[in-house]
C-alpha cells in the first residue's frame, strides 16, 4: 500500500511504467453501472480525478488524452448509447505504487 505521506490527490498526474490490468467503470443515466478489466499499456499518462476517501483502496483516474483512450477502451455501441454518462479507471493503491510513477 502507498505510504500515507504520499497519498494521491485529485489532479496528481501519473504515468504507467509497466503494463497492468485496471478496472474500467462505465456510468449510465440509469440505475446501473458497468465495466470490466482493461489493460493499461506502459507510457499511458493519467490524472487522479479526485481525492480518495480515507477508506478508499485506490483512485479514480482519467487517461490523457481522454478521447483517444475512450475510443480504444469503450465500444462505439456503448459510447453512442443515449444513456451512456461517462467512464473512469479504477486503480488500486498497490498497483499505483508498483506499476506507476508520479509526474
Q: 56-102 pLDDT, tens per residue?
A: 999 999 999 999 999 999 999 999 999 999 999 999 999 999 999 99
Distance between CA atoms of residues 47 and 42, nearest Å: 15
Q: What is the pLDDT of residue 56?
A: 95
Question: Which residue from 11, 4, 23 is spatially nearest to 95, judged by alpha carbons?
Answer: 23
Q: What is the pLDDT of residue 33?
A: 79
Around Cβ 24, how many Cβ atoms within 10 Å?
A: 20
Query: Quick check: 23 pLDDT over 80?
Result: yes
| Residue whose C-alpha cell is 500515507 | 4
Q: Give the number of domains in the chain.
A: 1
Q: Is 83 helix (H, G, I), strand (E, B) or coil?
A: coil
**Percent of the chain whose pLDDT exceeds 90:** 87
Please state whether beta strands 58-64 and 45-48 pair in parallel, antiparallel, or not at all (unpaired): antiparallel
1-5, 21-25, 58-62: least confidently modelled range: 1-5
CA-based end-to-end distance of the chain: 19
In this prediction the pTM is 0.89
**Which residue range forms the structural domain that includes residue 55?**
4-102
Amino acid at each position: 500500500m502507498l505510504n500515507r505521506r504520499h497519498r494521491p490527490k485529485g489532479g496528481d498526474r501519473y504515468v504507467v511504467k509497466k503494463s497492468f490490468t485496471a478496472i474500467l467503470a462505465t456510468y449510465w443515466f440509469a440505475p446501473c453501472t458497468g465495466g470490466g478489466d482493461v489493460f493499461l499499456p506502459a507510457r499511458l499518462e493519467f490524472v487522479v480525478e479526485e481525492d480518495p476517501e480515507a477508506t478508499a483502496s485506490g483512485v479514480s483516474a482519467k487517461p490523457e488524452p481522454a478521447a483517444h483512450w475512450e475510443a480504444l477502451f469503450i465500444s462505439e455501441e456503448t459510447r453512442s448509447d443515449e444513456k451512456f454518462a461517462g467512464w473512469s479507471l479504477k486503480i488500486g493503491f498497490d498497483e499505483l505504487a508498483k506499476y506507476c510513477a508520479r509526474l
